[in-house]
């Protein structure tokens, strides 16, 4: 099932986000190498690949946080390549990467109200609390929340900015099974309400439970895109994802070194 660089979602819908021939380089290292990806409107896409594949760099490029050596990015058919991060967010890109985290000095309810006001949006705060299973904690200080509850609050804060496209980087990192299931339900509810969701995670069981489609990256390139069943049934893809630890360690070391020096991957 090994596929081409440019993979289009199987649902045949217009892509709210189109990444075309994108290259991001740090000195001689190409974190993204001529990558193209169309993300179907309203979809929930899981982005997987070994360490150093360029997944987080792709998110940062979409947000305008890293310089592009080549390529274009379009949102709803309009180019955003030259726009600042702030203007891209105003165009409808939401992310927990840029939400600034939770407000530790506030309650859960106050955090959502402030997030909506900062985005100049009117939102049903009570509805958001119910959607993300936070209603019983509405008046609890954020400092008293568990890790899982804080992560769901951060997702809710991103949602109340009314994004067209929501980028989530490892949304269940550090969570147990029950917290993970609650996050799956929260993300599904957000996606069903309209926004296109793209998320990165290394837990293939979680990705399969949530994603309608999976895109696989390796060495800065998109190698294939398909349904969870199609991806899981492809032995070559599974070999790339799980195998060659030695090669993955080299890529991971490059990424870790770049992060230590402030260069995003």
Which pLDDT tens digit goes with each residue over 51-77?
899 999 999 999 999 999 999 999 999
Tally of CB atoms within 10 A around 202? 15
Contacts of residue 13, Cβ cutoff 8 Å, sequence gap at least 6: 40, 41, 42, 43
Instruction: Characterize the bridge pairing of strands 17-26 and 70-75.
Output: antiparallel
Query: What pLDDT was estimated at residue 108?
Result: 97
Tell me: pLDDT of 257 over 50. no
Average pLDDT of the residues in 223-242: 88
| Least confident residue range of 26-30, 101-105, 182-186, 247-251 | 247-251
**Tokens, residue 234:** 């492809």
Average pLDDT of the residues in 136-151: 95
Residue 39: phi, psi to the nearest 5?
A: -110, 115
Helix, strand, coil abundance in the chain, percent, nearest 5:
40, 25, 35
pLDDT class of 256 with cuts at 50, 70, 90: very low
Q: How far is CA 54 from CA 23, 29, 71, 88, 185, in A?
A: 11, 11, 15, 21, 27
Query: What pLDDT was estimated at residue 265?
Result: 45
In the sheet where 165-169 sits, what is the strand order? 93-95, 165-169, 196-200, 44-48, 213-218, 221-226
Query: What pLDDT was estimated at residue 208?
Result: 93
**Tokens, residue 246:** 């030695």
114-137: burial string, b at 16+ Cβ within 10 Å, e else? ebbeebeeebebeebbebbbbeeb
Tell me: pLDDT of 32 over 90. yes
Average pLDDT of the residues in 236-263: 52
Cα end-to-end distance, the chain, whole Å: 27
User: Cα separation of 229 and 177, whole Å?
Assistant: 22
Query: pTM to 2 decimals?
Result: 0.83
Query: What pLDDT was estimated at residue 60?
Result: 95
Tally of CB atoms within 10 A around 107? 18
Query: What pLDDT was estimated at residue 240?
Result: 76
Query: What pLDDT was estimated at residue 1?
Result: 44
Measuring CA to CA, which residue among 148, 130, 143 is closest to residue 184?
148
pLDDT digits 0-9 by tens, 196-227: 999 999 888 999 999 999 999 999 999 999 99
CB 179 within 8 A of CB 146: yes
Topology at the third CATH level for domain 6-98+164-260: Rossmann fold (3.40.50)
User: Cα separation of 32 and 14, whole Å?
Assistant: 24
Per DSSP, what are the bridge partners of residue 200? 47, 169
pLDDT digits 0-9 by tens, 121-139: 788 999 999 999 999 999 9
Q: Is 15 helix (H, G, I), strand (E, B) or coil?
A: coil
């Amino acid at each position: 099932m090994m596929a081409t660089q440019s993979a289009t979602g199987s649902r045949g819908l217009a892509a709210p986000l189109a990444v075309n021939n994108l290259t991001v380089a740090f000195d001689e290292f190409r974190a993204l190498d001529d990558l193209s990806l169309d993300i179907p409107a309203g979809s929930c896409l899981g982005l997987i690949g070994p360490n150093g594949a360029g997944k987080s760099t792709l998110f940062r490029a979409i947000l305008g946080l890293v310089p592009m050596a080549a390529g274009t990015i379009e949102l709803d058919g309009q180019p955003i390549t030259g726009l600042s991060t702030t203007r891209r967010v105003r165009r409808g890109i939401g992310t927990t990467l840029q939400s600034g985290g939770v407000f530790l000095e506030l309650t859960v309810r106050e955090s959502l109200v402030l997030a909506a006001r900062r985005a100049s949006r009117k939102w049903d705060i009570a509805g958001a609390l119910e959607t993300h299973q936070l209603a019983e904690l509405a008046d609890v200080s954020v400092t008293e929340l568990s890790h899982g509850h804080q992560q769901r609050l951060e997702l809710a804060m991103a949602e109340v900015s009314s994004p067209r496209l929501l980028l989530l980087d490892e949304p269940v990192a550090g969570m147990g099974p029950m917290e993970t299931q609650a996050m799956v339900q929260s993300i599904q509810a957000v996606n069903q309400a309209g926004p296109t969701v793209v998320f990165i995670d290394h837990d293939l069981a979680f990705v399969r439970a949530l994603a309608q489609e999976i895109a696989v990256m390796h060495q800065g390139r998109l190698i294939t895109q398909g349904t969870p069943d199609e991806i899981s049934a492809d032995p070559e893809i599974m070999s790339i994802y799980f195998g060659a630890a030695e090669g993955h360690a080299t890529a991971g070391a490059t990424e870790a070194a770049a992060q230590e020096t402030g260069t995003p991957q």
